[in-house]
Amino acid sequence: MDWLYVHMPIAGVDIFWPGLIILGIGVGIIGGFFGMGGAWMVTPGLNILGFPMAFAIGTDIAHMAGKSLVSTMRHGKFGNVDYKLGVIMIIGTVGGFEVGAQMIMWLERLGSVDKVVRYIYLVLLAFIAWLVFYDVHKKKKKEEEARRLGRDPEEAVGVEWHKTLHKIKIPPMVHLNVAGIYCSAWLPIAVSFFTGWLAGILGIGGGLIRMPSLVYLLGCPTHVAVGTDLFEVMISGLYGAASYTYKGRTELVAAIIMLIGASMGAQVGAVATKYIHGYGIRIVFGWAVLGCALSIVFKLIGAQVPAYKTLLDNASTVLVLGLVAAMSLYIFVRMVIGAREEIAAKKQGRAH
Amino acid sequence: MKRLMHFAMSLLIIALPSSSFSAGGGGEPIVIVADTRWTSGISHWWATLYNESHLYFTIVTCIIIPVVGVIFGVITDFIMAHIGIDLTKRGHGGH
């Protein structure tokens, strides 16, 4: 069975290559669907396949750059990317990320930075999950009310914090045509600075925070939030790939093998947004955030109770990989069902 | 404008030493060398390039990654379009 293993010339380890392709397909589908890089899923996966941690991070970022480029192109063709918003947000993201990274170095000198970061991460994820499910609950309530009053329930929207933020009229004002937003340019800059700062502190790409921020703070439709976020991930991914590779921590052979699966999966995930509507995406996203939060809880308990550390670390990895498998399968099945219905409708249309 | 320039310059003078302090103190970075004894063909060339220049290695990586992504992305596009999926319209998205 030697042919199932490929030698990684830089990391110096033999890796089970079908595992890389399967992992790539899974995170590609999820990334293309939610608009995130998915480092929290890939890094433990690569680690399990046998990569040293430093190479796992670098290889993940390198494949992320290629994958997000493909899904940005697809979302761009669907009209899901607000490039103007994306470019404005780069200013805030870069500034915020740098401030966050500097703060981490400052915290590092004070000690116990890891614990602080994990707790902030956990609180943030719990808040995002709560927000998503609260939003869904509020929308359902409004739908019921609309039905009672004889109005169209389809028009009901849950949380609308962005409406309050849109009232801030500090010039210059900008029209974001694809997102359908008219607001002060300082709003997307402030939101991206905030999300960039959090990403810098937590040492993550930021898609997990940026996507819900685009929806709830800026008021982007879910599809546009996904597409625009991928545009940001693509730019930060390319920068991160260059940075990690220059430091010698990227295993390109593995990144390419993963990318074969991920670029195909990313297309599937992006096309799936055609068939799963805005709130459907939000609900699945909420489950993804909950899974991520739970895996961190396991790691935190493991750090407190050394006797169960190995068990809880393994449980955390199994949970993350199980979540990747379950969600990508769900998205794939929904996409196949949607595509079949579309093709059947086309054939019927031709018959008439 | 002159005041703004002065402010920016003083900010730079204050910020530079602090950023170099925060970045320093970690000692020499670990240098990883690829073992080329067990490699051949492209893999050997690849490992040698890594050992000789991280800069060239980075440039080649930053070219290969997007190209491979786009090639396989286009192949998937072609397969999905061939099946009959409409890749030109998003359809109804909802909020």
Q: Do residue A66 and residue B69 have CB atoms under 8 angstroms apart?
A: yes
| pLDDT classification of B11: cutoffs 50, 70, 90 | very low
Say if B16 falls within a structural domain. no
Say if B36 falls within a structural domain. no
Percent of chain A with pLDDT over 90: 31
Say if B82 falls within a structural domain. yes
Q: Which of A326, A268, A285 is nearest to A71 (CA)?
A: A268
Q: Which residues of A touch B34 (CB under 8 A)?
A: 9-10, 12
Classify residue A30 by its DSSP letter: H
pLDDT of residue B20 exceeding 80, the answer is no
Which domain, by its residues, includes B69?
53-86
List all residues of chain A from 47 to 76 with a beta carbon under 8 Å from chain B.
62-63, 65-67, 69-70, 73-74
Q: Is A126 exposed, middle or buried (0-12, 13-18, 19+ CB in 10 A)?
A: middle
Q: Do residue A70 and residue B75 have CB atoms under 8 angstroms apart?
A: no
Say if B4 falls within a structural domain. no
B20 vs chain A: nearest CA distance in angstroms? 11
B95 vs chain A: nearest CA distance in angstroms? 5
Distances (CA, A) of A150 to A56, A155, A159: 55, 12, 22
Amino acid in the structure at residue A225: A
Say if B15 falls within a structural domain. no
Q: What is the mean pLDDT of chain A?
A: 87
Say if B11 falls within a structural domain. no
Backbone angles phi, psi at A149, to 5 degrees: -90, 0
Mean pLDDT (whole number) for A223-250 = 88
| pLDDT classification of B1: cutoffs 50, 70, 90 | low
The answer to whether residues A166 and A191 touch, using CB atoms and an 8 Å cutoff, is no
pLDDT tens for B60-73 read 999 999 999 999 99
Distance CA A304, CA A156 (A): 45
Percent of chain B with pLDDT over 90: 36
pLDDT of residue A278 exceeding 90, the answer is no
Mean pLDDT (whole number) for A254-269 = 93
Place of tokens 């994306």: A86
Mean pLDDT (whole number) for A273-301 = 84
pLDDT tens for A52-96 read 877 887 888 888 889 999 999 999 998 999 999 999 998 888 888
Structure tokens at A336: 């196949």
Q: Do residue A263 and residue B89 have CB atoms under 8 angstroms apart?
A: no
Say if B45 falls within a structural domain. no
**From B22, B34, B88, residue closest to A102, measured CB to CB:** B22
Q: Which of A140, A274, A71, A132 is nearest to B94 (CA)?
A: A274
pLDDT score of B57 = 93
Concatenated DSSP letters of A56-117 = HHHHHHHHHHHHHHHHHHHHHHTT---HHHHHHHHHHHHHHHHHHHHHHHHHHHHS-HHHHH
Count how many residues are written for chain B.
95
Q: Which residues of A touch B93 (CB under 8 A)?
A: 221-223, 273, 277-278
Q: Which residues of A touch B24 (CB under 8 A)?
A: none
Percent of chain A with pLDDT over 70: 99
Say if B23 falls within a structural domain. no
Minimal-distance CA residue of chain B relative to A219: B95
pLDDT of residue B18 exceeding 50, the answer is no
pLDDT of residue A235 exceeding 60, the answer is yes
Q: Which of A168, A214, A224 is nearest to A194 (CA)?
A: A214
Backbone angles phi, psi at A281, to 5 degrees: -65, -45
Q: Is A246 exposed, middle or buried (0-12, 13-18, 19+ CB in 10 A)?
A: middle
Domain count, chain B: 1
